[in-house]
A and B are shown apart, each in its own frame.
Chain A
Amino acid sequence: MPRYLSQLQSAWWRFWWGKVDPRPLAAVRIAMATAAMVLHLTWWSDVEALLAHDGLSRLVVDLPAGRGLTIFALPFAEAIGAHLLHALTLLPLLGLLLGWKSRWMALLSWLVVLGWYQRVPGASTGGDRLLRYALFYLSLGNCGGAWSVDARSKSSKTIPVLPLRLIQVQWAAMYALGGFDKAAGSRWMDGTALHYALSNLTFARAPELIAPLVSSAMWVPVFKGTTWVVLAWELLFPLLVLHRTSRRVALIIGVVVHLGIGFTMSVGPFTSVTLLGYLAFLDGGGWKGSIRHPRQESCNPPGDSAQDTPDPSGQPPIFSS
């Protein structure tokens, strides 16, 4: 095999399986478990109407038969039975939060969250979907390598980066794909998209506060400019996260955009889950600790990888500079 191909192959596998500090993945595990537990609790008011076996028929999906991967397909998942089952499914999420048999708990947590979707797909949101992806990716790696019950018996100095990388790629893909779809829309191009999104009463969190802004001619240029910034940021996000400095810019814009959405629009768990996923973009050395890892790589994509620019301290470059 030619040398450049061999190097390319090596870089490819290092991108997916390089060794990194276990703490960023542990942070994502704790964050996603917390998000899943909060969502679990918010489902409680809808258990009998939406989740229980005798609740609404399984809607908005065209699978020909069955209720899929959900415990609510069980015939005794009615009334108090549905509540008990819902309570039972809190346990894997708690196990994941504590990092007890972390990978298995991540897998079970994914099945729990998938169960809500399977039972009532029409009530599932983009934030639920992101959470499902994150939990699935967590189950593919050693997400209990730090800050966990697992780590008390067997701590890991480094772990394969795979789950973090999958979460990073998923988040970047989400922005890019959303950006391409938006770029095809006339309102994103003419700068009025934000006006129409904020004016929609279905989503408006505080319509009385927003109405004076969206109806004022003075704010039109502000909304126009913001629309274009959001569109450009979404389209460029995958490129921006490749470099340390631009990554920080992309993440800061992301925090501002998502907090803006969260404060002005009621869009379900999308804001919180997306922001929690940003933890996957923080580098391993960000967690000030005493461990030193001799061949630890950056948690972020190559270009500033410790593999490319070995750092004497053993910390990833972003935090060792």
Chain B
Amino acid sequence: MTPSPPLAARVALLTWLVLATSLALDDQSGFRQVAELVAPVRRLLGWSQSWSMFAPNPPSSTYWLEAEGRRGPHWEPIEIAGGQPDSESWKLSYARASKLNRGLSTAKYNGDRRHFAHWLCRQDDTLSRVRFLHARLPTAPPGMAPSTGPIKRTPKSEHKCPGI
């Protein structure tokens, strides 16, 4: 016997399949317009269909975000979660803040670092400015001893603390 779901359920399913397909193909040129149309839904509900972990290539370096704060004339390092990974300690639990900060070290989220800087300023009212650096340690090619340096640091952005 053929199941006969209600019309509304059939329409809902077909709508979902079209939406999910559009989300999955949103980087294809033919789907750009549809992707723009459904982008608010994707952002609001977290309905991305991008599953590109380690794709198209795994990163060729370990990278992280570093922060420095200015107190008087001096810049001093600020300890933030997700700083330089320790090559000796075991990671038994997952650090969410580390993922967040790693994301902030990339160009895609340039605008968001300002919010992070202001939050760091709120934690320490002796700071007048905060600046961020993208640090990277290249991965050695297969069959070679693990790379230990040098660490390349690239300045990302500098922010004035609010109210200063």
Residue of B10, B100, B119, B145 ringed by the most chain A CB atoms within 10 A: B100
Q: Does A155 contact B (CB under 8 A)?
A: no
The interface bits of chain B over 36-65 (1 if a CB of A lies within 8 angstroms of the residue's CB, else 0) are 000010011111111111111111101110
Q: Are A220 and B139 within 8 A (Cβ)?
A: no
Question: Within residues 147 to 205 of chain A, which ones have a CB less than 8 A from any CB in chain B?
Answer: 160, 162, 173-175, 177-178, 181-182, 184-188, 192-193, 195-197, 199-202, 204-205
A319 within 8 A of B: no
* B29 interfacial by beta-carbon distance below 8 Å: no
C-beta contact mask, A54-70 vs B, less than 8 Å → 1, else 0?
Answer: 01111111110000110
Q: Which chain B residue shows the least CB distance to A124?
A: B46
B148 to chain A, nearest CB (A): 11
Check B51 against A126 for contact (C-beta < 8 Å).
yes
Q: Is A216 an interface residue (CB 8 A)?
A: yes
Residue B13 interfacial (CB < 8 Å): yes
Q: Are A50 and B119 in contact (CB under 8 A)?
A: no
Contact A188 B3 (CB under 8 A): no
Judge whether B2 and A206 touch: CB under 8 Å. Answer: no
> How far does the alpha carbon of A79 sit from the alpha carbon of B88 in the complex, in Å?
34
Q: In the complex, which residues 122-164 of chain B have their Cβ closer than 8 Å to any Cβ of chain A?
A: 137, 139-146
Task: Assess whether A220 is in contact with B62, with CB atoms less than 8 Å apart.
Answer: no
Q: Are B100 and A160 in contact (CB under 8 A)?
A: no
Q: Return the contact of A16 from the options B5, B92, B103 (Cβ within 8 A).
A: B5
List the B side residues contacting A50 at CB < 8 Å.
Answer: 96-97, 100
Q: Which residue of chain B has its CB nearest to the CB of A55?
A: B119
A223 at the interface (CB under 8 A from B): yes
Q: A60-B103, A122-B100 are in contact. Are A215 and B140 (CB under 8 A)?
A: yes
Distance, CA A310 to CA B81, complexed state (A): 58
Residues of A within 8 A of B9 (CB): 17
Q: Are A60 and B140 in touch, CB under 8 angstroms?
A: no
Contact of B3 among A17, A42, A177 (CB under 8 A): A17
- CB-defined contacts of B137 to chain A, threshold 8 Å: 201
Q: A160 to B85, alpha carbons, bound, how many Å?
A: 48
| Residue from A42, A60, A200 within 8 A of B112 (CB atoms) | A60
Which secondary structure dominates where chain B touches chain A?
loop
> For window 37-79 of chain A, which residues contact chain B by CB distance below 8 Å?
42-43, 46, 49-50, 55-63, 68-69
Q: Which residues of B are found within 8 Å of A118, using beta-carbon distances?
A: 44, 46
* Contact A197 B58, beta carbon cutoff 8 Å: yes
Are A129 and B48 touching (Cβ within 8 A)?
yes
Contacts of A276 in B (CB 8 A): none
Q: Does A114 belong to the interface (CB within 8 Å)? A: yes
B32 is an interface residue with CB less than 8 A from chain A: no
| Among A92-100, A238-246, A261-269, A277-285, the stretch in contact with B | A261-269
Q: A57-B119, A178-B51, A211-B146 are in contact. Are A14 and B2 (CB under 8 A)?
A: yes
Q: Which residue of B lies closest to A268 (CB)?
A: B94
The reply on A123 being an interface residue by CB < 8 A is: yes
Q: Contact: A200 with B62, CB < 8 Å?
A: yes
Best-buried of A60, A121, A124 by chain B (most CB within 10 Å): A60
Instruction: Tell me which of B49, B91, B144, B145 contacts A177 (CB under 8 A).
Output: B49
Q: In the complex, what residue of chain B is closest to A57 when comparing beta carbons?
A: B115
Tell me the bound Cα distance from A122 to B31 in angstroms: 25
Once bound together, how far apart are the Cα atoms of A125 and B102, in whole Å?
Answer: 12
Contacting pair B51 A174 (CB below 8 A): yes
Q: How far is the CB of B139 from chain A (nearest CB, A)?
A: 5
Determine the residue in chain A with the shortest Cβ distance to B118.
A57
Question: 19 A-B pairs, CB-CB below 8 angstroms?
Answer: A46-B97, A55-B119, A60-B100, A61-B43, A118-B46, A122-B109, A123-B100, A125-B94, A177-B49, A178-B51, A188-B57, A195-B141, A197-B58, A200-B58, A204-B87, A208-B87, A211-B146, A215-B145, A295-B1
Interface residues, chain B, CB within 8 Å of chain A?
A: 1-5, 9-10, 13, 20, 24, 40, 43-60, 62-64, 85-88, 90-100, 102-104, 109, 111-112, 115-116, 118-119, 137, 139-146
Additional 13 contacts, C-beta under 8 A, given A56-B100, A174-B51, A217-B143: A13-B5, A56-B115, A63-B43, A117-B46, A125-B99, A132-B45, A181-B55, A187-B57, A187-B58, A196-B58, A200-B139, A201-B137, A202-B62
